[in-house]
């Protein structure tokens, strides 16, 4: 009798939400930097009234996020956030948001398997 390997199902990739100065990032991409390494480019949503509606500013387009004090980049792992009990989510001070640099966000997305 020959034993067949049972393929293990891979866990789903976590879902992240990203903001830049409290504007939701609708798309992001990692691209080669002109100098060395990689840089984070984003498109943001403008005029958000609630999370169900968003408007992309096509004139603004893509721009590179630099590590500057006037740019606050935050992310939340929506998959992990949804697993927390309601009471913990309601009493959370930061509501699951983590402040990070562009390089840190690239590393987090890379380690989670979202970027390859």
**Tally of domains within the chain:** 1
Residue 8 within any structural domain of the chain: no
Residue 1 within any structural domain of the chain: no
3-class secondary-structure state, position 56: strand
Residue 59 within any structural domain of the chain: yes
pLDDT of residue 53: 43
Domain that holds residue 78: 16-111
- The secondary structure element, H or E, covering residue 102 is helix 102-111
Q: Per residue in 26-51, pLDDT tens?
A: 888 888 888 878 888 887 765 544 44
pLDDT of residue 51: 45
3-class secondary-structure state, position 99: strand
Residue 80 within any structural domain of the chain: yes
Tokens 């989510």, residue? 89
pTM here is 0.76
Residue 11 within any structural domain of the chain: no
Question: Is the pLDDT at 1 greater than 60, yes or no?
Answer: no
Residue 45 within any structural domain of the chain: yes
Q: Per residue in 52-100, pLDDT tens?
A: 444 455 666 677 888 888 889 999 999 999 999 999 999 999 999 999 9
3-class secondary-structure state, position 90: helix
Residue 6 within any structural domain of the chain: no
Residue 51 within any structural domain of the chain: yes
């Amino acid at each position: 009798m020959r034993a067949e390997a049972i393929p293990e199902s891979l866990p789903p990739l976590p879902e992240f939400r990203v903001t830049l100065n409290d504007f939701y990032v609708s798309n992001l991409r990692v691209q080669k930097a002109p100098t060395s390494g990689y840089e984070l480019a984003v498109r943001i949503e403008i005029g958000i009234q609630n999370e169900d509606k968003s408007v992309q500013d096509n004139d603004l387009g893509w721009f590179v996020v630099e590590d500057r004090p006037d740019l606050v980049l935050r992310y939340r792992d929506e998959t992990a956030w949804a697993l927390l009990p309601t009471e913990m989510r309601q009493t959370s001070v930061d509501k699951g948001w983590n402040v990070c640099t562009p390089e840190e966000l690239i590393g987090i997305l890379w380690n989670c398997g979202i970027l390859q």
